[in-house]
Amino acid sequence: MNSRAIFPDSLAQFCAARAGEKYRPHNGVEGELFIDAWCRNCVRATHAGMEPLEFDASACLIVGATFAYTIEDAQYPKEWQYAQDGQPCCTAFVRVGEAIPAHRCERTRDLFDRDAS
């Protein structure tokens, strides 16, 4: 699948107002479309050396948490959300073959002001 869009354009336009809000598939078919578009192509949900379509939900804590918690729970992953275009997305997505970026603590200030001119 080249595009990770899973909603028709009309539904995505409607959902654009929810940009940044948590996303949870409404049913199993929608969930499978999301997993097919995002998780099967993400290094976080595959093991080293696996083909992209050899998806393992246990390899990704995000996928597991979406099954374990309701969207109202604080533990429900914030990574699954509506994008600016209204399409569901995973903000932690890293294409198979690329390196997972190092984690950066959100509570630690940057020692170097990168925005300074």
Give the pLDDT confidence of 57-115 residue by residue, as tens digits: 566 888 889 989 999 999 999 999 999 999 999 999 988 778 877 777 777 777 666 65
Angle subtended at Cα 34 by Cα 30 and Cα 19, rounded to the nearest 5 degrees:
95
**Which among 74, 47, 71 has a CA at the least distance from the CA of 60?**
47
What confidence score (pLDDT) does residue 104 get? 73
Q: Identify whether 108 is part of a domain.
A: no
* Residue 103 covered by a domain: no
43 pLDDT more than 60 = yes
In a domain, 58, yes or no: yes
How many distinct structural domains can be found in the chain?
1
State pTM to two decimals: 0.76
Give the per-residue pLDDT at 107: 78
Positive or negative, the Cα torsion across 28, 3, 82, 48? positive
Instruction: Give the pLDDT mean for 9-29.
Output: 95
Determine, yes or no, domain membership for 79.
yes
